[in-house]
């Protein structure tokens, strides 16, 4: 193994450590996610080396995990001045297992040597499928692509009215209610949920639901369901629920109260959107 190869492994190990350190502190990811992200980065790196015709770098690519361990040890010990080998953290065991996984991937998948149970092509398909499902699950749980709703930040009148115009054009014939305030309440829920869960992610939600059949939030209104529902069906379900809640309320603030009850922890965001729409329609 040449010095240049070792230096390249060292550089990539530093990049791995930096990216994973960021993820650990930004999203508080668990050891499991940390391991899976490390494997994902290793596979991506091996793919890049293969594409660049640098296959000799893939022969011992698992050594990147060794350098990742060294950088983590040095940072913890000399920068943070903490005990890297503290028992309850099990850092050494974690890296031993990570290097073991790296060696396994190196021999069975990346170098396509000693095929175990699966051929190289089958194992590659399995690994990539697993990795993409994992990335999707992480994005969903950490809400990376969800907009953050805070007063005087992202949620201003212009954004709300723009989203309202687009959604009303799309679902004009699907919200069959005459009560303008009720209609605005429904659009308020739709705007918040559509912004937090984009159409692309909802598309993947549908795929995952059809594969697993597990209960999850579906449709533009993000209805938790055991059966598949479309965007329009989710709108109908929310409309019925809001009507029931309004029927139980009375006096001023009936619609606001119904929205607060329905949305729970997200009520402030929806109420803010609802008030913007009410002011626009001068209600």
- Tell me the whole-structure pTM to 2 decimals: 0.50
Contact (Cβ atoms closer than 8 angstroms) between residue 34 and residue 23: yes
* Interatomic CA distance for residues 235 and 241, integer angstroms: 10
* Interatomic CA distance for residues 42 and 131, integer angstroms: 11
Q: Which residues lie below 8 Å from residue 283, measured CB to CB, with a gap of 6+?
A: 180, 181, 184
pLDDT band at 283; cut points 50, 70, 90 = confident
Convert the pLDDT of each residue in 148-162 to its tens digit: 444 444 467 888 998
* Interatomic CA distance for residues 63 and 1, integer angstroms: 11
* Interatomic CA distance for residues 45 and 56, integer angstroms: 13
Convert the pLDDT of each residue in 67-124 to its tens digit: 999 999 999 899 988 888 876 568 888 899 999 999 988 888 788 754 334 556 666 7
Q: Locate tokens 């990147």: which residue?
A: 64
How many percent of the chain have pLDDT more than 90? 36
What average pLDDT does this structure show over 113-139? 66
Who has greater pLDDT, 48 or 133? 48
């Amino acid at each position: 193994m040449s010095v240049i190869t070792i230096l390249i492994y060292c550089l990539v190990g530093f990049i791995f450590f930096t990216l994973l350190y960021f993820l650990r502190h930004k999203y508080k990811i668990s050891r499991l996610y940390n391991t899976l992200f490390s494997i994902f980065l290793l596979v991506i790196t091996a793919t890049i080396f293969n594409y660049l015709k640098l296959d000799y770098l893939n022969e011992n690519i698992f050594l990147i995990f060794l350098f990742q361990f060294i950088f983590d040890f040095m940072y913890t010990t000399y920068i943070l001045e903490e005990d890297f080998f503290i028992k309850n953290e099990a850092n050494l065991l974690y890296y031993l297992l990570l290097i073991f996984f790296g060696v396994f991937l190196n021999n069975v998948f990346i170098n396509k040597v000693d095929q175990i149970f699966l051929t190289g092509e089958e194992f590659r398909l399995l690994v990539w499928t697993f990795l993409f499902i994992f990335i999707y699950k992480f994005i969903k749980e950490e809400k990376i692509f969800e907009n953050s709703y805070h007063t005087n930040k992202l949620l201003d009148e212009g954004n709300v009215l723009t989203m309202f115009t687009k959604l009303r054009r799309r679902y004009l014939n699907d919200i069959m209610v005459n009560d303008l305030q009720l209609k605005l309440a429904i659009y308020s829920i739709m705007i918040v949920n559509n912004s937090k869960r984009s159409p692309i992610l909802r598309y993947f939600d549908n795929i995952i639901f059809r594969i697993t059949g597990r209960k999850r939030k579906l449709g533009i209104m993000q209805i938790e369901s055991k059966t598949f529902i479309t965007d329009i069906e989710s709108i109908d379900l929310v409309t019925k629920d809001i009507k029931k809640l309004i029927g139980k309320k009375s006096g001023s603030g009936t619609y606001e109260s119904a929205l607060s009850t329905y949305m729970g922890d997200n009520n402030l965001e929806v109420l803010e959107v609802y008030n913007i729409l009410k002011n626009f329609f001068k209600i």
